[in-house]
Amino acid sequence: MTKENIFYRFLLWREQHIKEKHFILIISFVVGICTAGTAIILKQLIHFIQQLLIQNMEVNQANYLFLIYPVAGILVAGLFVKYIVRDDISHGVTKILYAISQRKSRIKPHNTWSSLVASSVTIGFGGSVGAEAPIVLTGAAIGSNLGRLFRMEQKTLMLLVGCGAAGAIAGIFKAPIAGLVFVIEVLMLDLTMTSVMPLLISSVTAATVSYIVTGPEAMFKFSQTEVFEMGRIPYVLLLGVCCGLLSLYFTRVMNKVEGLYRKLGSYQKRFILGGVMLSVLIFLFPPLYGEGYDTISALLNGHFGYIMDRSPFYDMNHSGWGIVIFLFFILLTKVFASSATNAGGGCGGIFAPSLFLGCISGFLFAHTSNYFDFTMYLSEKNFALLGMAGVMAGVMHAPLTGVFLIAELTGGYDLFLPLMIVAISAYLTILMFEPHSIYSMRLAQKGELLTHHKDKAVLTLLNVNGIIEKDFQTVSPGMTLGDVVKVIAKSGRNAFPVVDANSVLIGIVLLDNIRNIMFRPELYDRFHVSKFMVSAPAKIVINTPMDKVMQIFDDTKAWNLPVVDEAGHYMGFMSKSKIFNSYREVLVDHFSED
The answer to whether 131 touches 118, Cβ cutoff 8 Å, is no
For range 377-400, the mean pLDDT: 91
pLDDT recorded at residue 592: 47
At 582, is the pLDDT very low, low, confident or very high (cuts 50, 70, 90)?
low
pLDDT recorded at residue 259: 85
pLDDT recorded at residue 579: 74
Q: What is the pLDDT of residues 462-511, one digit of tens each?
A: 556 667 888 888 899 889 989 988 888 888 888 899 998 888 898 898 88
Tell me: pLDDT of 19 over 90: no
Distance CA(266)–CA(278), nearest Å, equals 18
pTM: 0.75
Tell me: pLDDT of 458 over 70: no
Tell me: pLDDT of 541 over 60: yes
Q: How far is CA 510 from CA 24, 104, 393, 473, 536, in A?
A: 52, 39, 54, 12, 10
For range 30-45, the mean pLDDT: 93
Q: What is the pLDDT of residues 410-436, one digit of tens each?
A: 877 788 889 999 999 999 999 999 887
The answer to whether 546 touches 459, Cβ cutoff 8 Å, is yes
Tell me: pLDDT of 317 over 70: no
Distance CA(574)–CA(553), nearest Å, equals 10
Mean pLDDT, the chain, whole residue set: 83
Percent of the chain with pLDDT over 70: 87
The answer to whether 326 touches 304, Cβ cutoff 8 Å, is no
Could you give the 3-state DSSP secondary structure of residue 301?
coil
For range 55-76, the mean pLDDT: 86
Tell me: pLDDT of 35 over 90: yes
- Per-residue DSSP letters for 442-481? HHHHHT----S-HHHHHHHHS-HHHH-B--PPPB-TT-BH
Closest CA to 42 of 266, 274, 352: 352
**Considering only 76-85, 304-313, 315-324, 522-531, which range has the smallest mean pLDDT?**
315-324
**Considering only 60-64, 293-297, 350-354, 406-410, which range has the smallest mean pLDDT?**
60-64
Distance CA(266)–CA(570), nearest Å, equals 39
Higher pLDDT, 340 or 315: 340
Q: Tell me which architecture the domain covering 457-591 has in CATH.
A: Roll (3.10)
CATH of 3-214, one of 3.90.25.10, 3.30.365.10, 1.10.3080.10, 1.10.1740.10: 1.10.3080.10
- Domain 230-452's class? mainly alpha
Tell me: pLDDT of 445 over 80: no
pLDDT recorded at residue 358: 94
Domains 3-214 and 457-591 share a fold: no
Closest CA to 502 of 581, 411, 570: 570
At 535, is the pLDDT very low, low, confident or very high (cuts 50, 70, 90)?
confident
pLDDT recorded at residue 123: 94
At 55, is the pLDDT very low, low, confident or very high (cuts 50, 70, 90)?
confident
Where are the domains positioned within the chain? Answer: 3-214, 230-452, 457-591
Q: What is the pLDDT of residues 183-211, one digit of tens each?
A: 888 776 556 667 789 999 999 999 999 99
Phi and psi angles of residue 499, each rounded to the nearest 5 degrees, phi first: -125, 150
Largest CA distance in the chain: 103
Give the residues across from 497 on adjacent strands.
Answer: 508
Tell me: pLDDT of 523 over 80: yes
pLDDT recorded at residue 463: 57
Q: What is the pLDDT of residues 222-276, one digit of tens each?
A: 777 677 778 889 999 999 999 999 999 999 999 899 889 888 878 888 899 999 9
